[in-house]
Amino acid sequence: MVEQLFLKPISSSFMKTVPSLSVDMSGTIGNKTQHPLKQLLILPINTLDQFSIQAGHLKEDIVINTPFDFHALPSGTVVQIGSTQLRLTFHCEPCSKIKHLTNIKKIVHQRGYHSQVLRAGSIKLGDKVKVLLERHEAIPYVFADRIKWYLDKYPTPILVSDLINAIGLSSSYCRAVPAVIRHRTDIDKKLILFKKNRL
């Protein structure tokens, strides 16, 4: 069931509690623009309780309460909340921005699930969370695995900054790419272009 809803207004850096969200294919109407794979962040209330964090502080869009372990659902699962259908993409990566709230190592895989809109609609407080039978391709959580996943799908040379953006990570991850793929013989490193390679 939906316990709380938040809006991230375009003109403000503050979260706003709301009774409902209107969702189109680009995400929540009235929200700041989100990455296609990260349009809505769904957070089980268990995380807030376990880590003693106040709702909204993890920048989640939806706080839910379910009788099952939401984070245990596989990537590619489709859920319906209200009249909206969402594809679960990957767990939200804990970052240094929340280290004042909790131990970021302990909250891995519990910091919320990113999702992509499959069917526009509305989400209201009290709406049930239904897991549907439909399944989509899983997206790896591990950094190097996600790079491989993308390059296998699109085996053409790509600038590292564009690659990082395409897989839903911030530009700060660019500098880590050489280290994380160094020993991955299954990744075609020639497809990843760094600025020094550009003419």
- Give pLDDT tens digits for 175-191: 999 999 999 999 999 99
Give pLDDT, residue 43. 97
Whole-model pTM above 0.85?
A: yes
| Contacts (Cβ under 8 Å, ≥6 apart) of 172 | none
For 57-108, how does the pLDDT look when each residue is reduced to its tens digit (9 = 90+)?
999 999 999 999 999 999 999 999 999 999 999 999 988 788 888 888 889 9
Strand ranges of the sheet holding 62-64, from the earlier edge strand across to the other edge: 16-18, 2-7, 62-64, 40-44, 113-119, 84-91, 77-81, 129-135
Q: In the prediction, which pLDDT does 14 show?
A: 77
C-alpha torsion sign, points 56, 95, 92, 194: positive
Residue 10 has pLDDT above 80, yes or no: no
pLDDT of amino acid 12: 60
Q: What is the mean pLDDT of the chain?
A: 93
